[in-house]
Structures are given as C-alpha cells and as structure tokens.
Amino acid sequence: MERIESEQQYQDLINGDGLTVVKFDTSWCPDCKTLDKFMDGIMKENADKRFFALDAENFQPIAEENQVRGIPSLLVFRNGEKIAHLHSKYAKTPAQVSEYLTTLESKQ
C-alpha cells in the first residue's frame, strides 16, 4: 500500500472521482501491523478502490480534521468528502474490513 508523504498528495488523492481508502496508522501500532497482514487480499477483492496509508502522528492535523481517535482507522473519500469511517475497534479482522468496504457500494 502506497504511503502518503505530503499534505498536497493527500489532498490530490482524496479529491478524486472514485473511492479512495486511506488507512490512518502509526509505525508503533500493533493492531496496524495485524491489519497489514490481511490488507493485500482485501485490496485485491476491492480493485475498484484506491488504497493508501497515512501516518496519523506525522499528519496529526489531518487526523484531527477527520476525527481519527484510534488507529488503525479506514476512511473513505470521494470528491474530497469523507463518506465513511471505520473506527479502530471495528477494523480488527478481515471480515470486519470486507463487510465495511462492501457497504460502500450503496454510497456510490
């Protein structure tokens, strides 16, 4: 998963037409590492979405602006608008993440 390296890159990515999923994480988070173990399969199942990772500590203003209170959190954007937010306590298993991404189909 490509990592977002600047605020400008973040803005450019979330303002796209399609669905952009941004995983907010940190380098020290054990739950983030667990999520990473199964994200490749989920990304393949959801090839219609673009996936990126963003370090919530390095980009704290962006995390605060998006009300990211726990990590990992998966936020989904379309045309610059946050349309969904999977909070950390619900992003622990492949089934939880897959179900969340499936519910996005109704938001397109």
The single residue of 14, 21, 22, 32 carrying the catalytic annotation is 32
**Catalytic residue flag (residue 71):** no
**Catalytic residue flag (residue 29):** yes
Sign of CA dihedral 86, 26, 95, 9: positive
The single residue of 29, 63, 71, 86 carrying the catalytic annotation is 29
Residue 106 CA, chain-centre distance (Å), reads 18
Neighbours of 64 (CB within 10 A): 11
Which residues are marked as active site?
29, 32
